[in-house]
Chains A and B, each alone.
Chain A
Amino acid sequence: MLYREAGDFKTSYVKDSQTFPIKADRMAYFALLAVAFGVVPFLINDYWANAVFVPFLIYAIAAIGLNILTGYCGQVSLGTGGFMAVGAYAVYKLMTTFPDVPILIHVLLAGGVTAIVGVLFGLPSLRIKGFYLAVATLAAQFFLVWLFNKVPWFYNYSASGQITAPERTMFGIAVTGASTPAWAKYLFCLVILVALAWLARNLTRGMTGRKWMAIRDMDIAAEIIGVNPLTTKLSAFAVSSFFIGVSGALFFAVYLGAAEVGEAFGINKSFLILFMVIIGGLGSMFGSFAGAAFLVLLPVLLKNVLVGGLGWPTDLAAHIELMIVGGLIIVFLILEPHGLAQLWRVAKEKLRLWPFPH
């Protein structure tokens, strides 16, 4: 009864095209932002930050990035892990070469570097389509990981081959390095996520986004009505890689602190983020968040139940966890191939009609 458009009068075109046309949605959105910025930082501790919040925020950025490429522009990519590695190594090189520049600038520059690499690996998409392209992006994944392993310049010739984030600050507060307080990590990632999500939302509903969707729905038809496939596909690769690069930079610098490329950014990372996008819902902003939250929370939950609750040995629990995750993915795809976002849409539609279902 409360959740409907009636009575919410739009008096300008700007208002008419706002993201949340229903008042209750807008209020929920602002309330969520207020809680995220005003309440959580005061309550958060190290366990919650490292196990749930920070990985969720970082994966959400990556999921939005991949969703732009796969969900909005229709180009399936399995190279996400490799692009995250580019972001991580770019931010590492920048942090160690220019220690005095604020870390935020480094993170954004790392995204820029990844965007360039992404465009480079996106070039074949003009010729190769569908699964052939998906497999071709694996070339990026394996080549980049190999590159960062084999060229010592990327890890500053360190003996272990690892990269370790030195302490860098924003406004005098450490956001990377060992002595970072939990709330600083959280807030730093949150600010970037909110800014990028806002950017992505507005890109996808503007002309750029419409071009992407035209290419996704049928590229030849799009070309005929005047959408340039070269610039459209490459811009999707660039924007998507920028997001993924930023998330890779944060994943290394803020979350992990030290990383070994094959382990942190291997092929499994690519699949994980693709799962987030698919389970969340292709071509949906909400879906990116929901998918990231689902796949970050699920292992934590399963681990707590199986190891903590039932007291099984960790290796057995790990195998059973694998089975459950695999099984759940299949069940999800069978029940709702359009992902959590579709469930959310259906729920909202029901809520709008409530209490009169017909």
Chain B
Amino acid sequence: MPDQLLYAIEVSLNGLMAGIMYSLVALGFVLIFKASGIFNYAQGVLALFAALTLVGLQQGQIPFSHVINAIFGTDLHSFGWTLPSVVAIALTALVMVGMAWLIERLVLKHLVNQEPIILFMATIGLAYFLEGLGDVMWGADIKKLDVGLPQGINETIDAVTFNAFGYGFFIDNLDIIAAFVAAALVLSLTLFSQYTKYGRALRAVADDHQAALSVGISLRFIWVLVWSIAGFVALVAGIMWGSKSGVQFSLSLIALKALPVLMLGGFTSIPGAIVGGLIIGMGEKLFEFFAGPLIGGATENWFAYVLALLFLVFRPQGLFGEKIIERV
């Protein structure tokens, strides 16, 4: 096989892997949008906050130590213990559930029945707040997240492809794990929503708020539930992205990468989020590979959006979105 083609295959495989990472973030968006019609801009910041909390708990940092030091002139830094990853992850999941409850209690409860744009703005405000809170609690320096996931080139794939084509593909172990995690996540979400009582309630709420209320489903509980699940998805995304590129502010910007994925897949479809992620990931990597050198590179910043935009012109509800029916 010619080299160029092999490179292209390698690039598209890596694109698919990157796409799965986008999908992980997009999943959280879809869950919340389906259940409450809220376009949750804060999903990326939730991932950042979860990752920060995880690192902080793991390393036994004292929360708010910067503020305490600044006010009282003390020199506090850490409790002096390190937690095993599993415990830290479980504790962070608890924190995210608490966060979901607080968000419902303090923000969403008061904004029921507002226009979508107001709710959207509120989540942007929430994103700002959480971003500031994360930095104030755990400090703004770049942190390394290590929960014991393998990283670096997968030797097996490298060796197999080298024997077959005379050219070893570079695929990161972490990306492969991310793919499996995403698959497991989608599977468990599907099972949860199809076969459990709360899953059924969730689907009822997604279908029709008022009808769900009238048969005795507590909307507020469902909202806490769905934000908790979204918080958990954010934690998973935070672990994956944090292991890949360190826990830092730019982690919150992956939310922006998840938006074209959503547009392409449709705001209301979980399979859409995965398929959209794969298309976007592969598309932008291939475009950068073929067209990037001709027009100056760094096309990944915008290509996903333009692709999604062009796509939407032909199918305004996205690939798997519910058909938009309008009546006067």
User: Which residues 118-140 of A have a CB within 8 angstroms of B?
Assistant: 124, 127-132, 134-136, 138-139
Q: Which residues of A contact B131 (CB under 8 A)?
A: 322, 326
Contact A322/B263 with A138-B256, A138-B305, A330-B107 known, Cβ cut-off 8 Å:
no
Contact of A329 (CB < 8 Å), options: B122, B302, B306, B317: B122
User: Which residues 316-340 of A have a CB within 8 angstroms of B?
Assistant: 316, 319-330, 333-334, 337
For the complex, give the distance between the alpha carbons of A145 and B299 in Å: 11
For the complex, give the distance between the alpha carbons of A287 and B135 in Å: 32
Q: Which residues of A contact B295 (CB under 8 A)?
A: 150
Contact of B124 (CB < 8 Å), options: A129, A320, A329: A329
In the complex, the chain A residue whose C-beta lies closest to that of B135 is A319
In the complex, the chain A residue whose C-beta lies closest to that of B317 is A132
Contact A131/B136 with A143-B305, A329-B128 known, Cβ cut-off 8 Å:
no
B residues adjacent to A (C-beta < 8 A): 39, 66-67, 70-71, 106-107, 110-111, 114-118, 120-122, 124-133, 135-136, 140, 256, 259-260, 262-263, 267, 295-299, 301-302, 305-306, 308-309, 312-313, 316-318, 324, 326-328
Q: Which residues of B contact A326 (CB under 8 A)?
A: 125-132
For the complex, give the distance between the alpha carbons of A319 and B114 in Å: 29
Q: Is the interface of A mostly helix, strand, loop or mixed?
A: helix
| Distance from B303 Cβ to chain A, minimum over Cβ atoms (Å) | 9
What would 13 A/B residue contacts be, using CB atoms closer than 8 Å?
A70-B117, A128-B313, A132-B263, A134-B120, A136-B305, A139-B309, A275-B124, A319-B136, A321-B132, A326-B132, A330-B106, A333-B121, A334-B107
Contact A131 B297 (CB under 8 A): no
A274 within 8 A of B: yes
Contact of B302 (CB < 8 Å), options: A76, A131, A143: A143
Q: Which residues of B contact A282 (CB under 8 A)?
A: 117
| Distance from B123 Cβ to chain A, minimum over Cβ atoms (Å) | 9
Stretch of A8-16, A28-36, A217-225, A244-252 on the interface side: A217-225
Contact A146 B122 (CB under 8 A): no
For the complex, give the distance between the alpha carbons of A224 and B328 in Å: 9
Contact A316 B66 (CB under 8 A): yes
Q: Which residues of B contact A320 (CB under 8 A)?
A: 132, 136
A: number of interface residues (CB 8 Å) = 50
Q: Which 5 A-B pairs have the closest CB atoms?
A: A326-B128, A326-B129, A329-B125, A322-B132, A323-B132
A172 within 8 A of B: no
Q: Which residues of B contact A151 (CB under 8 A)?
A: 296
For the complex, give the distance between the alpha carbons of A28 and B41 in Å: 40
| Distance from A254 Cβ to chain B, minimum over Cβ atoms (Å) | 28
Q: Which residues of A contact B128 (CB under 8 A)?
A: 322-323, 325-326, 329
Contact B298 A330 (CB under 8 A): no
Contact A124 B301 (CB under 8 A): no
Contact A333 B263 (CB under 8 A): no
